[in-house]
Amino acid sequence: MPTKVLDFELPQVPERLPGLAGYTSAFVLLRWEGRPVAAAVVPLHKGTFKKADLRERMSTGLGDDLRACWLSILFSPSSCKQRPGRADVTIAVCTRNRADDLRKCLESLLSLPDEGQEILVVDNCPANDASERVVRCFPAVKYVREDRLGLNRARNRALREARGEIVAFIDDDAVADKNWLRALTDAFAAPLTICVTGLTLPIELETEAQEAFELIGAYGRGFRRKRFSIETISPAGGGAAGAGVNMAFRRDVIEKAGCFDEALDAGTATHSGGDTEMLCRVIGAGYEVIYEPAALNWHRHRRARAELIQAVFGYGVGLYAAWTRCFWVGKERDVLGTAWSWFFKVRLRCAIHAVWHRSGAYPRDLAWAELKGSLWGPIAYGKARRELARDNAQKE
């Protein structure tokens, strides 16, 4: 049964919220002064949300997060409250054949506070001109067409075309929260920080596939700010820092860590992993990635089960393809150990648990799809490299 997504500002949570007929539970996001602090799934009784259920859920698991957030707000230093000088920012949306989603995404971006940011749509090898027509409805948005297929090619094009010092990427099937851009750019305070990622939550949980996606926590990174650098993690763990749906880079990342690898991510044999590999590379190059949960955006998860299984298979392929790239091209040999233990201790164990239906286990089809993807990843990367080399040779 579907789950209703609710968004409350603390402490104004209503005692009761009726009129949610057709939903059995609610995914509740709690904010404090606009900043997301916690989320919980609470049951609904006859289509009514009750505050008491939320309180019970909070007392069992969310208290620490809330206290930490309260503290940071209570004692936030005056220097944190003042915004640093306005950074020159470009928002890049890489899209392909999803005109309806793109319209919603652009509407949300145009409703952000205007701080002179540029909005750039990179249309990647479109089948028709639907996306272009959508963009034409928004005169403030810049349209660029990238005819070579591949999400990472579109990202590289965005980095080249952007005029901002910071380039914030958002997926075409996501919408930005009102404070998204500000929180992302504010986190770029230290010169060492060349990438900031944000929190992504579901915009709807209407189908079983969407609930399953949320359950496996593909975008879940928590509500506390985290910093990732080689002091704390191995470069192989870059994927823990965030995902391409919600990330921003300094434009000079190209000089500091290199371009996105065009043999990775959607549009190639590897399906995904371009974002993960870039995060690994940034960390390996001795820079820092900050995960800032205040930079919130909302993602529309895949509605159909078949689409979801395909996506999860793609995540498996992408992760192992990214690690193959780190090992082979980036010469990060420690990746081998991480990939090995992730496969046996997490993926395989997860798949076995799913077969026996142990409590808390992944859905079986998703677990197996990811396992298969993990096995296919290194081969897919080799294949994608060959295709890329062929494309480049043809172009020359």
Nearest approach in angstroms of CB 77 to another protein is 4
75 binds another protein (CB under 8 A): yes
The answer to whether residue 67 forms part of the interface with another protein (CB under 8 A) is yes
Interface with another protein (CB under 8 A), residue from 285, 348, 361, 379: 285
Binding residue (CB under 8 A) for another protein from 12, 59, 60, 78: 78
Of 46, 58, 43, nearest to 11 (Cα)?
Answer: 58
Please report, as residue ranges, which positions from 335 to 364 form the binding site for another protein (by CB under 8 A).
337
* 71 forms part of the interface with another protein (CB under 8 A): yes
- Give the residue with the Cβ less far from another protein, 43 or 222: 222
Give the shortest CB-275-to-another protein separation in angstroms.
21
What is the full DSSP assignment across 188-217? --STTEEEEEEEEEES-B-SHHHHHHHHTT
Round to whole Å and give the CA distance between 258 and 43.
47
Binding mask 296-335 for another protein (x = CB under 8 A): ----------------------------------xxxxx-
> Nearest to residue 65, comparing CAs of 94, 36, 23?
36
225 binds another protein per the rule CB under 8 A: no
Comparison of 77 and 360: residue with beta carbon closer to another protein: 77
Spatial distance between the Cα atoms of 114 and 331, rounded to a whole number of angstroms = 43
Question: What does the alpha-carbon distance between residue 251 and residue 342 come to, in Å, rounded to a whole number?
Answer: 32
Is 74 among the residues that bind another protein (CB under 8 A)?
yes
Number of other CB atoms surrounding residue 110 within 10 Å: 13
Terminal alpha carbon distance of the chain: 54
Min dist CB 79 to another protein, Å, is 5
Residues numbered 190 to 209 that lie near another protein (CB under 8 A) are: 190-192
33 contacts: CB under 8 Å, gap ≥ 6? 73
**What letter represents residue 198's amino acid?**
G
Nearer to another protein, 71 or 140 (CB): 71
- Site for another protein (CB under 8 A): which residue of 150, 202, 235, 267? 235
Q: Is 52 in the site for another protein (CB under 8 A)?
A: no
Q: How far is the CB of 220 from another protein (least distance, A)?
A: 24
* Shortest reach from residue 336's CB to another protein, in Å: 10
Q: What share of the chain is helix, strand, coil (3-state, %, to 5)?
A: 45, 25, 35
Segment near another protein (CB under 8 A); pick from 133-141, 172-180, 205-213, 279-287: 279-287
Query: Of 197, 224, 183, 198, nearest to 66 (Cα)?
Result: 224
Min. distance of Cβ 289 from another protein in angstroms?
A: 13
Q: Is residue 33 involved in binding another protein (CB under 8 A)?
A: no
The Cα 358–Cα 49 span in angstroms is 30
Binding segment for another protein (CB under 8 A), chosen from 53-61, 65-73, 301-309, 354-362, is: 65-73
**Length of the chain in residues, anyone?**
396
Among 34, 70, 137, 346, binds another protein (CB under 8 A): 70
- The pair of structure tokens assigned to 352 is 């076995």
C-alpha to C-alpha distances, 341 to 1, 259, 334, 345, 349, nearest whole angstrom: 36, 28, 11, 5, 11
Closest distance to another protein from the beta carbon of 48 (Å): 30
CA 101 to CA 111: how far, in whole Å?
16
Bridge partners (DSSP) of residue 90 are: 118, 167
Shortest separation between residue 224's beta carbon and another protein, angstroms:
13
* Residue 80 near another protein by CB under 8 A: yes
Are the C-beta atoms of residues 364 and 378 closer than 8 Å to each other?
no
In the complex with another protein, the residue whose CB is nearer, 211 or 288, is 288
Q: Give backbone dihedrals phi and psi of 205, rounded to 5 degrees, phi first.
A: -130, 65
Interacting residue ranges for another protein, rule: CB under 8 A: 67-68, 70-72, 74-75, 77-80, 190-192, 229-231, 234-235, 284-286, 288, 330-334, 337
